[in-house]
Amino acid sequence: MPKRGKKYKNAIATVDCTKVYDLAEALENVLKSTFAKFDESVDVAVRLGVDPRHADQMVRSSVILPNGTGKTARVLVFAKGEKEKEALAAGADYAGADELIQKIKGGWLDFDKTIATPDMMGEVGKIGRILGPRNLMPNAKLGTVTFDVERVVNEIKKGKVDFRVDKAGVVHAVMGKCSFGGEKLGENILAFVDKLIQLKPSTSKGIYLRAISVSSTMGPGFKVDPVQMRTLIKAA
């Protein structure tokens, strides 16, 4: 267990981290427990009833959060000709082909998300060893290998979040900033969990939403009742 500082211990002194809360209470405690001097991010972790060792139980996709993440992603688009112009007009930070690939080979990585038109993937594949380990590789399953460049650039700029289940069956994602307040954070979390429910593999048996917790960057985690989450989503 890592050593915790005095501020962390003070933050959790008045809250019960072992209790299972409804979503509003959990977020209230998250916001109450922040102590950093910066605007902390709020993260959600959802443990799913899946076995990621089986390809048909790999949960991976993306979701557009209704209130964004609080961070505007720097978007790079691998495209030529009219599609390059379309990308820049849509708000992409960088767009191009061979010149960008050469810059990346030289160590340049000043971007957060990438998109590629299908005709560029042969060239982009040559830098897969650089982009892949950093989760920067365009991916057809996530919708980032496409000729519909304008739409995808807009989605990413609005707050599109990519996610995938890890080896332990847990999905992690950033849901926004503490400055959003409980209501907007709650709306983002409901949209995210709703997407996970839609993606439930047909081969997943038993309880699918096993556990949910929310936390800030520096603060403790608070457990959220999965049953109540389903009720909120159905009522939305």
- Let me know if residue 81 belongs to a domain: yes
The phi and psi torsions of 167 (rounded to 5 degrees) equal -60, -25
Number of domains in the chain: 2
Q: Give one word for 10, left, alpha or beta, with left for phi > 0 and alpha for psi -120 to 50.
A: alpha
Q: Residue 99 belongs to what domain range?
A: 75-157
- Let me know if residue 228 belongs to a domain: yes
Over the chain, what is the mean pLDDT? 92
Please report which confidence band the pLDDT of residue 139 belongs to, taking 50, 70 and 90 as the band edges: very high
* CA distance to 40, 79, 153, 195, per residue, from 228 (Å): 26, 45, 34, 16
- Let me know if residue 192 belongs to a domain: yes
Is the distance from CB of 218 to CB of 40 less than 8 angstroms?
yes
Indicate the DSSP class of residue 82.
H
Find the CATH number of the domain harbouring 203: 3.30.190.20
Residue 207 bridge partners (DSSP):
none
Burial of 78 (0-12, 13-18, 19+ CB in 10 A): buried
**Owner of token pair 């930070």:** 93
Indicate the DSSP class of residue 169.
S
Domain boundary among 107, 142, 157: 157
Is the distance from CB of 175 to CB of 192 less than 8 angstroms?
yes
Residues 37 and 144 in one domain: no
Residues 89 and 142 in one domain: yes
Please report which confidence band the pLDDT of residue 1 belongs to, taking 50, 70 and 90 as the band edges: very low
Residues 99 and 149 in one domain: yes
Please report which confidence band the pLDDT of residue 189 belongs to, taking 50, 70 and 90 as the band edges: very high
Mean pLDDT of 67-81: 95
Please report which confidence band the pLDDT of residue 33 belongs to, taking 50, 70 and 90 as the band edges: confident
Residues 37 and 87 in one domain: no
Is the distance from CB of 41 to CB of 219 less than 8 angstroms?
no
- Let me know if residue 6 belongs to a domain: no
- Let me know if residue 3 belongs to a domain: no
Reading the block at residue 131, the tokens are 């982009």
Indicate the DSSP class of residue 145.
B
| Global confidence as pTM | 0.83
Please report which confidence band the pLDDT of residue 44 belongs to, taking 50, 70 and 90 as the band edges: very high
Residues 150 and 167 in one domain: no
Tell me the per-residue pLDDT of 109-134, one tens digit each, with 9 for 90 and over: 999 999 999 999 999 999 999 999 99
Domain boundary among 98, 133, 157: 157
- Let me know if residue 20 belongs to a domain: yes
The phi and psi torsions of 178 (rounded to 5 degrees) equal -55, -30
User: Of all helices (H) and strands (E), which one includes residue 7?
Assistant: helix 6-12
Residues 79 and 153 in one domain: yes
Domain boundary among 157, 179, 203: 157
Q: What is the pLDDT of residue 141?
A: 86
